[in-house]
């Protein structure tokens, strides 16, 4: 029940992205600089601590930038469908919680 309710709710969510901005100006290239510098260091010396650090920081910056530029909207649906989706989700979560309760 919980899985089907969660699926139905997530199926109603529309995800879009906005224009990639870094401050006032478009800055996608700026977010790639630490990643590219880290990759260059790693190709020169695979054991370089600075290279690994720059690569990890660059990946985190790119992932954070992607997540920060996402917009999520709940699509229009009927009240009946919303009640069914939420009923399945919370009813399933209640059953899961009851099954985890100790049999004291």
Residues 62 and 27 in one domain: yes
Residues 30 and 45 in one domain: yes
Predicted local distance difference test score (pLDDT) of residue 2: 95
E strand spans, the chain = 13-17, 70-74
Two tokens, residue 18? 């906005």
Residues 61 and 83 in one domain: no
Predicted local distance difference test score (pLDDT) of residue 62: 84
Q: Is 25 helix (H, G, I), strand (E, B) or coil?
A: strand
pTM above 0.85, yes or no: no
Q: What are phi and psi of 30, to 5 degrees?
A: -65, -35
Residues 89 and 104 in one domain: yes
Residues 14 and 27 in one domain: no
Residues 24 and 56 in one domain: yes
pLDDT beneath 50, residues of the chain: none
Number of independent structural domains in the chain: 2
Q: Determine the structural domain holding residue 52 and report its residue range.
A: 20-68
Predicted local distance difference test score (pLDDT) of residue 103: 63
**Token match 């290239």: residue?**
29
Predicted local distance difference test score (pLDDT) of residue 19: 67
Q: What is the DSSP letter of 75?
A: P
Residues 10 and 31 in one domain: no
């Amino acid at each position: 029940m919980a899985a089907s309710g969660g699926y139905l709710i997530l199926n109603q969510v529309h995800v879009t992205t906005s224009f990639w901005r870094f401050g006032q100006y478009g800055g996608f290239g700026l977010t790639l600089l630490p990643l590219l510098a880290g990759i260059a260091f790693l190709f020169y010396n695979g054991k370089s601590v600075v290279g690994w650090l720059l690569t990890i920081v660059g990946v985190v910056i790119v992932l954070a930038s992607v997540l920060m530029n996402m917009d999520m909207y709940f699509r229009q649906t009927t009240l009946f469908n919303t009640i069914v989706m939420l009923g399945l989700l919370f009813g399933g979560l209640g059953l899961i919680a009851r099954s985890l309760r100790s049999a004291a």
